[in-house]
Amino acid sequence: MSRIVVGNDVVDLSDPRCRGRSESRRFLARVYTAAETARIRGSDAPDRTLWLLWAAKEAAFKVVSKVAGEPPPFVHAAFDVSVSGSGQTPVRGHVTHFDRRVPFVAELGPGWIHLVAWWDGAASVDPPPELRWSLSRVDEVLPGAQPDQLQAILEKRFTKRERPAVHSMASAAVRMAARDGVAAELGAEAGDLEIVCQGGAVGRTPPRLYVRGTPARTDVSLSHHGELVGWAAALATETGGS
C-alpha cells in the first residue's frame, strides 16, 4: 500500500431516497452532530448539504478503517465534519474521528456529489499530487448492459478472485472504471490489474489492487450509488508488500 490511503463516496442526488431527508428529525439526530444539524438547517440547499456531510463521513470511515487496520464501529455522529468556506467548488474540509483528522475535497454537480478523503500522516489541506479520482455513469462504462447480463460480464471481464465482491451492474462498472483509470496512470494494461476484496462482508472489506498478480502499493477506493460510480486512487509506481 502507498504511504497515502484514500476513501471516496458518491451520492446520486436524483435517487428518490435522497429527497427530503433533511426534514427527518430522527435521521438528523442519529447521523449528525448538533453543529452539523445546524449547518444543514441553515443551508439554502439542505438536502445537498446533508448528503455532502454524509459523503464526508462515509469516505473518512473508509480511510480510518485502512489506517487502523480494521473498521471501527461506524457511529456516524462520531465522524465530525468541518467544511471550509461557503459556496465554493470544489468544497474542502476535514473529518475528525477521535484523535485523527482526515482531510477531504468534494466536487458537486447539478445532480451529484463526489467526495475524496485521504490520510498521509500530516492532515494536509491540499490533495497530495499522488491522488486521482473520477466519476462516471454506469451506462458510460457498460453501455446497453442489462441486469441479466451480469453473470456473463463477470465471466468475461473479471478474474475468479475479483468476482465474489461484484454484486450488481454498478459494482461491476466501478471496478472496470477504476481498473481502466489506474492502468492509464500507471502505464499498464487494464487486463494486468485486479481489484480484490478478500474476506469479510460485501462492501465492508477495503479493495486491494493487484498488478500482474502482485499486491500494488497504489491504494484504491470504490463507491457507487444510483446511476453513478466513482473511484479514487493514491498512486504509487512500485509493486510489492505494504
Give the tens place of pLDDT for each residue, 13-27: 999 999 999 999 999
**What CATH number did the domain enclosing 31 receive?**
3.90.470.20
Same domain flag for 108 and 193: no
Sheet containing 193-196: give its strands across.
193-196, 208-211, 214-215
Task: Express each pLDDT in 114-129 by its tens digit.
Answer: 999 999 887 677 899 9
What is residue 121's predicted lDDT score, i.e. its pLDDT? 81
pTM value?
0.93
Q: Over the range 162-173, which residues count as b (16 or more CB within 10 Å of their CB) and which as e?
A: beebbeebbbbb
Structural domain for 156, as ranges: 136-234
Q: Does residue 241 form part of some domain? A: no
Angle between helix 150-157 and 169-186 (nearest 10): 20
- Would 242 be classed as within a structural domain? no
